[in-house]
Structure 1
């Protein structure tokens, strides 16, 4: 049996290099002696998620800074362009079945739907200044619908594969296991933006209740996975190498749930009777603060593990993007609580988190660009 920790460390590299593809790749033809170009893994869509959340989180900040929205719009355009490039490149590979057969790579099927949802919400929050409200709504409806369908499919299909086809050692649980179940929570948070634009009546009510149902689906499943990850951390050796950044995904799941609670409570009065609408506001505040507190505990744990790993060496991998979206979710969650409570502590915390988010995004994006340029050069050299 292949060591599960080693297999995880190879698979999260984002490319199907020889060690990653060995357990699942078909036997190569005798004539295929030269090296194959590495396959693009679904984990690279986390770059779209991270870039998109940098743009979207700027809108939720309690404070407005001169030129921030314009800069955020430019970043959103970059995320949209990156989404198109990655989607075309990934679909051209026709590697879906190959990646579904890998017990680690399959976990990152949650990244593409969340990338769609993030860019879609950015169209409504930021793109409307560029393309107008009507076009922005059309883009968001399409991307939200597609991302929601794919996200729900991933949330059902990947756990099914884990139960029926994949086999895991006792120390196999890692942060990537959250990726398939988080997309419905992102759909809930981003779907709240569309509730006021849905036709009044049963359609608007169905959209709101559907978002709450997806929030419940994602949050309960995420808490189950977080318990398994914590059990692995306590009972087995601490993760090393490129696996460590995936611990931060737990922070993203918790932050996204707080954001969704606040966003849904804000639009609930347009679809629910007054008593229940007021109840959603209470739930968003009290439940949000409780979950936010747990998120801060997870933040401390993830930070400690990351600092410990940096001291011994943390090689670059696409999992570095696991630092970005979770911190962005913390910004939106903290900003939501700041708006609801008027607490200066939440206001300052949201601003500090956003500053750290931008710094981390610049660092990770720079490493990603160098990594991509190096791989393009190597691929061109091998073809020659």
Structure 2
């Protein structure tokens, strides 16, 4: 168990992100699906178990292996995944609002959602400041090492913004709702600005350096995550802030509509480019796609884009985006099943987490072999 905890790095919270987004999108699908609520509830239960285990392992690792935990921040790749912790918390909190309110007393579920959202927001602010700062002053990287995974620590504020938008009406008086809305818009601006800069670096790396390896190819899908969350934030704000910005509701509606449709087009482009990279490496010309935890990049970013499509559909009330959301949900489920099964298999076999006690190999009597 001690060895297991030592290995438990923050990148394991990507599983929390993936399970949580699939649960919420399945439960709230605007296109009726057989047993969607039952499936969503089952995944919600699984999400709570996985999140609690992951959070417990992470805390115990800080207690028992403090040096190992601190070393995560000294490593330019491992430090990135503290963003996964923040986003995982925000997804769990959002699912308590979407699904938990139908399983336990709604007021309790909403309070749990708010507490987790505040906690996730604080961790999000921590990651978006600390991890880039370490990259600027401590870590040593080359241009060819630029990957879309650099978005992982800067994306959490926009995930907190998108999930927090749903909670705006539950914050009591108008003044509190306005303060929360101001924080949400500020977090949106913070992440969107950083998303544009990091995306430019990723594009430049794709142009000026050799192609991504099969191991790195799944990372391209991370680009789709902030696109979907930005759509979700600006498409939902006009619907949740009518009591605060009544005179500007139509303006916000127009901004959300135009912005989200434009970003939907950007998201489709990134999906096609990312898919082409994955397909290339599955061909005889590529390196193959060896499985690792980075494959969860096929799940949460697609889920984020699907949630943005849902939000855009609710804003415009058009069947096109309802149907598009259904197609995206089907693709998401296909990716989720593959990645979840491969992850469970990797854990069980001990290839992702080395927890099995290796059996000593039987000694061979070489002297007798030579005599024979």
1:126 matched to 2:99? The reply is yes
User: What does 1:209-224 align with in structure 2 at a 5 Å threshold?
Assistant: 209-224=182-197
Q: Name the SS for the 2:236 alignment partner.
A: helix
Structure 1 segments (4+ residues) deviating >3 Å: 35-38
1:77 matched to 2:45? The reply is yes
For residue 254 of structure 2, what is the aligned residue in structure 1?
A: 282
In the TM superposition, residue 60 of structure 1 has moved relative to its aligned partner by: 4.2
Q: 1:232 aligns with which of 193, 202, 205?
A: 205
In the TM superposition, residue 333 of structure 1 has moved relative to its aligned partner by: 1.2
In the TM superposition, residue 174 of structure 1 has moved relative to its aligned partner by: 0.3
Distance 1:112 1:168 in 2: 23
1:338 matched to 2:306? The reply is no
Contact 2:5/2:60 (8 A) holds in 1: no
For residue 289 of structure 2, what is the aligned residue in structure 1?
A: 314
Count residues with an aligned counterpart: 349
Contact 1:259/1:332 (8 A) holds in 2: yes
CA deviations 1:313-359 (Å, max 9, x no partner) are: 11110000001011111211112222222333222211011011111
Contact 2:214/2:278 (8 A) holds in 1: no
Q: 1:36 to 1:115 in 2, by over 3 A?
A: closer
In the TM superposition, residue 157 of structure 1 has moved relative to its aligned partner by: 0.5
More deviation, 45-54/83-92: 83-92
For residue 181 of structure 1, what is the aligned residue in structure 2?
A: 154
CA deviations 1:249-304 (Å, max 9, x no partner) are: 101111111011112221111222x2322221111101111111111111111011
1:379 matched to 2:355? The reply is yes
Contact 2:120/2:160 (8 A) holds in 1: yes
More deviation, 59-68/235-244: 59-68
In the TM superposition, residue 310 of structure 1 has moved relative to its aligned partner by: 2.2
For residue 33 of structure 2, what is the aligned residue in structure 1?
A: 65
CA deviations 1:2-55 (Å, max 9, x no partner) are: xxxxxxxxxxxxxxxxxxxxxxxxxxxxxxxxx998612211111110110001
Contact 1:60/1:332 (8 A) holds in 2: no
Give TM-score, length-normalised by structure 2: 0.90
In the TM superposition, residue 309 of structure 1 has moved relative to its aligned partner by: 1.5
Aligned CA RMSD, in angstroms, stands at 1.8
Residue segments in structure 1 that go unaligned for 5+ positions in a row: 1-34
Distance 1:261 1:323 in 2: 24
Q: 1:383 to 1:143 in 2, by over 3 A?
A: farther
CA deviations 1:211-263 (Å, max 9, x no partner) are: 11111111111111111001101100111132211110101111111011112
Contact 1:188/1:212 (8 A) holds in 2: yes
Distance 1:192 1:270 in 2: 13
Contact 2:5/2:58 (8 A) holds in 1: no
